[in-house]
Amino acid sequence: MKRPDKDIAASARMITRRGLVVGGLMGGVLGALALRMRNLQVEQAEQFRFLAEENRINIRLIPPARGLIFDRNGVLLAGNAPNYKVVITREEAGDVDAVLETLNSIVQLPEDDLDRARREISRRSAFVPVTVADRLTWEQFSEVAVNTPALPGIATEVGLSRYYPLQGDFAHSIGYVGPVSDYDLERLNDDDPLLQIPRFQIGKTGIEAKFEHDLRGSAGTSQIEVNAAGRVMRELDRQEGETGASLQLTLDHVLQNFTEVRLAGESAAVVVMDVDNGDIRAIASAPSFDPNKFVRGISGPDYRALLNDEYRPLADKTVQGTYPPGSTFKMVTALAALEAGVIGPEERVFCGGFHRLGTRRFHCWKRGGHGWMDLVDSLKQSCDVYYYDVSQRVGIDKIAEMARRLGLGTKFDLPMSAVSEGLIPTQAWKRANRGEGWQVGDTLNASIGQGFVLTSPLQLAVMTARLATGREVQPRLVRAVNDIPQAVSDAPSLGIRPLFLNLIQQSMYEVSNLRGGTAYGSRVTEDAYKLAGKTGTSQVRNITAEERARGVFRNEDLPWNRRDHALFVGYAPYDRPRYAISVVVEHGGGGSKAAAPIARDVLLQAMYGELPPLSAYPAHQRNMIEERQRNLELRPRQEPEQGRSRA
């Protein structure tokens, strides 16, 4: 039956409306898609291009070359050596154990290295290279390189590692670097991504640690293309990092080496300072150690040997060690008494061998006493009773004030590890720290550098430089950073009357140059190089009344660790001071016997710039000195690095 025209027209109108609706919807969807495509392809194109590149390109850090360290003449003290190493990639190696066994047959490797490599391989992704061994010799490296076709997954690489060409000569002052540890990351609180690189080397002690940020430099970057699995395909771009700053120290490698060698067999410390500008020319702690062993990680047996040595080679005795200064402190007491006006230059005190305080006797080192002593004689012969007497009149607080003016009890700002403040006691200090009042006996002990008084060899050298010049000389260890000279601190006058300083200087001259002086045996016979000084002997044990009654044990008859410390401070030349020195020989006995001869040799070496001539020594000592010089195993003089200026 034929549909009516009216129905057909209505159906057509409905289909048209539906078509329009569907078409409109489709047009809307297509429009929305077009707008979104425009947004993605035009407006967000850079963002998605970056995300795509990030999926394809990785950025890797390139460790910078560590800054170099030189002595004052441009001789290299800390440098960077090629580090030849072997790495393995597990996915390319196949049977890892078989490859490692073959590698070990070509170059014998420590079993510890192989075990560590196996552990690393098991923790890393198959495509990540793992270091099997580093610090190989060139011969070992070459042997592996030519055999790589037979070593699937093995590759050779060259990096940089710290080395110290003069070994132990500067171990305590420069310190050493080592692989960064979890403890270091917590201690440093440093977000530098370089610290996340496995086995990245940072300064652990000394100048290496104190100048870590300057020496470290900044990282470079390498853009590498990787596939979907993260495997490296090729390097696209490379930006080298910024090398760390170079440092030039005030130290002289020739004098430093001579000092270290001269201290052989002793547990001792020596500091040599330029009295004009405070430059430390030598700062030696003996015995020393080879810092190169710490760069990679010292072995257990080697570390225990250093740790158990009773001479304490790991301790820097020059700045960490504190010792009773003994009679080297008497110049402090004398100046305090002179300034307070309680004594005059000509005033004399009688020494009968002891000073009585109540029922107690304070003994002089000379059992029978020295007789009548004025200030110059008291220093020349190191009379204890003279200082017991004058200190009782001047008091501890004025003595402490003078000590600090001369640099004792001061923590100097040097880039070395654990610089000590020492101890210059006062009445207030004892109340605060011991909960007791100050006793007169405490003052008497302090007046001769015993009791609570503690000083470091660095402080004693500063004290001596100030006595020689009358100025507030400040020690310094860094001469230039990136060839930019570092400022020399001002050295204003100490404000001590020249008359008083001249008395102390005259006394120190007589100590070393006139008969009866405690250092006369270590005098210099060349008029142009005569030295002035003061010996000291500090007790490390109490001598009881019973022992005095039956006779005090000689140091030679006691165990080494119960013997007295030997000290000497001095400067030279006497009439135009250039260098100040302090020497401490742990348990060395008397200062005149153990410390003064070392000080003389080192000062002469500093002034001559080479082994001093025999003519500088008394005639009767020249055969002994010649034999000693012949047996010194000195390092040959080093040439400065090309382009480094000499001082």
- CATH number of 232's domain: 3.90.1310.10
pLDDT along the chain (647 residues), means of 10: 62 68 74 72 61 57 88 96 85 85 87 81 73 84 86 83 94 93 80 75 94 89 62 67 93 98 96 98 97 87 94 96 97 97 94 94 93 97 97 97 98 95 97 96 97 98 98 97 93 96 98 97 96 93 56 71 93 97 95 96 97 96 96 92 58
Residues 217 and 287 in one domain: no
Residue 32 domain flag:
no
Q: In this structure, what CATH number is given to the domain that contains residue 459?
A: 3.40.710.10
d(C-alpha 372, C-alpha 378), whole Å: 9
Residue 47 domain flag:
no
Q: Out of 230, 249, 268, pick the residue that ends a domain.
A: 249
Residue 3 domain flag:
no
Compute the chain's Rg from CA coordinates. 37
Q: What is the pLDDT of residue 25?
A: 76
Residue 145 domain flag:
yes
Where does residue 466 fall: left (phi above 0), alpha (psi -120 to 50 degrees), or beta otherwise? alpha
Residues 281 and 240 in one domain: no
Parallel, antiparallel or unpaired: strands 579-585 and 565-572: antiparallel
Q: Out of 214, 231, 249, pick the residue that ends a domain.
A: 249
Residues 6+ apart with CB under 8 A from 129: 87, 88, 89, 155
| DSSP element (H, E) containing 9 | helix 5-38
Active-site position among 161, 285, 327, 538: 327
Q: Out of 249, 272, 293, pick the residue that ends a domain.
A: 249
Residue 21 domain flag:
no
Residues 453 and 596 in one domain: yes
Residues 521 and 543 in one domain: yes
Burial of 414 by CB count in 10 Å (0-12 exposed, 13-18 middle, 19+ buried)? buried
Residues 95 and 143 in one domain: yes
Could you tell me if 342 and 395 are in contact, meaning their C-beta atoms sit under 8 angstroms apart? no
| Secondary structure (DSSP) of 218-247 | B-EEEEEEE-TT--EEEEEEEE--BPPPPE
Residue 24 domain flag:
no
Q: Among this protein's residues, is 327 annotated catalytic?
A: yes
Structure letter (DSSP) for residue 66: P
Burial of 251 by CB count in 10 Å (0-12 exposed, 13-18 middle, 19+ buried)? buried
Residue 199 domain flag:
yes
Could you tell me if 198 and 180 are in contact, meaning their C-beta atoms sit under 8 angstroms apart? no
Residues 341 and 424 in one domain: yes
Could you tell me if 386 and 351 are in contact, meaning their C-beta atoms sit under 8 angstroms apart? yes
d(C-alpha 525, C-alpha 512), whole Å: 11
Closest-CA residue to 517 (of 531, 528, 527): 531
**Tokens at residue 383, please?**
């009379």
At residue 287, the 3 state secondary structure works out as coil
Structure letter (DSSP) for residue 367: T
Residues 203 and 290 in one domain: no
Residues 219 and 79 in one domain: yes
Domain range holding 457?
253-301+314-631
d(C-alpha 38, C-alpha 128), whole Å: 40
For the chain, what is the domain count?
2
Residues 155 and 262 in one domain: no
Residues 292 and 179 in one domain: no
Residue 104 domain flag:
yes
Residues 438 and 567 in one domain: yes
| Secondary structure (DSSP) of 470-496 | SB----B-EEEETTEEPPPPP--B---
Q: Any idea how long the chain is?
A: 647
Residues 346 and 211 in one domain: no
Q: What is the pLDDT of residue 57?
A: 64
